[in-house]
Structure 1
Amino acid sequence: MRAVVDGRTVELADGTRARISLLAEPTPCAAPAALDFATKALLDKEVRVSSITPGEVSLALPDGTDYALLAVQYGFLRTAGVDGGPLVEAESKAEKAKLGLWAQGGCPTPTAPPPSSTSVTAPPPAPPCIVVYRITNQWAGAFQADVTIRNVSGALVEGWTVRWRFADGETVAQLWNGTVSQSGADVSVTNAGYNALIVKDGSVTFGFNGAATGPIEAPSSFSVNGTACTTG
């Protein structure tokens, strides 16, 4: 893949431009986010290209995922020329979940802020993430927990690492949907290959089995990619 022109147009290795099949042209509001998503998903990746219709191609990512399906699933693009199947189902789910372009509600008209005669100190920005830590089961010396990370930063998160510190000697014994490391009370969990992307207002969840020698309590604070998060 030589270049990404927009969310549904690419320049192939031989210099020709091709449109990605079954994707509609992005709206003006959605175009920048669609381009950003396509660039991160396709550029400098070993993408498999197949073509049925002249001037149009289908793209498969290194893990075999269809790019068009992924873009629609995350709400960056809409379908075109499709009456049913996985693409239509993915678009319906993205619309219901208000993901990507579905959360924008159209293109707002910019308005100038009212003049101010006094200087007002702006409040600090809200944390870009919310972490919900939920103990789902516990028994003598062990417990099970789920951790959900919600992206409220307003931008696409491409790869994440969440960190926390246990207070009462707990340890992670087995974790799914991520990769864990622990040093003493400090725990770090990094995304798996298939859940690295978190769209605006989207979330990912991982879970683990843990061991404990004392009371089992939720950690008091979390960070994602080095930034403190709100706890939910």
Structure 2
Amino acid sequence: MAARKHWVVLLTLLTAACTAEHGGTPFPAPGTSSSPSVAGEPSTKVRAVVDGRTVELADGTRARVSLLAEPTPCGAAAAREFATATLLDKEVRVTSITPGEVSLTLPDGTDYALIAVRTGMLRTAGADGGPLTEAESKAAQAKLGLWAQDCPTSTTPEPPPPAAPSCVVVYRVTSQWPGSFQGEVTVRNVSDALVDGWTLRWRFAGGQTVAQMWNATASQQGADVTVVNAPYTALIVAGGSVSIGFNGSVSGPNPAPAEFTLNGAPCTAG
């Protein structure tokens, strides 16, 4: 029994010595890590800036930046210029907050909403304390951006800016041979509304003519082409698209049409 007690005391002394030798910190357990890795979020590009708090992403999605108030009338132009310089064609990480609202993070990890408020370009909306509220308070005290402007209290309201196109049209020639070619036209609905029945129009600039079309019906007067949906392609959901194809004739250069309209509204040529 006395020998066993001596062994216990000896083991205790050895353990204490090892711990002291490493600064009092015990060895970590095998297989553990003190800093687990965090997977990076996917990024995308901002392809258009609508206003200081509304952008269009690379896939055509239009979203409003969460917790930012609508730009004031006299500060809207400056806010849009700031957003364009900060976001246009830049890589951003997107986090969805609520339907139609997102948080944008710049490559250096900065939150766009925070720098927009910190520089006085935009005010907060719905922020209850935290960094945004603190940034707004400091911008107001320092009279930065819109806080330094003397906005008139009564002015003749400015006409609203023209609405951004609600459709994107991608036109491409898929194959071509002497005197003829085959084309494909994709119409994407980038609005929030359902398109139920549509008429697409464009004008050829190279004397082309449409000979045969599928997924829609075409008619042509001179250079002007009018395309009406087929019964099974009438619906284009918000964020959805429809494609039509056609065979055409051409005797010289075969340039793509420069402008398109969908139900009378201009579309962006993709």
Q: Normalising by structure 2, what TM-score?
A: 0.43
Larger Cα-atom Rg: 2
Comparing both structures, which one devotes a greater share of its residues to helix? 2
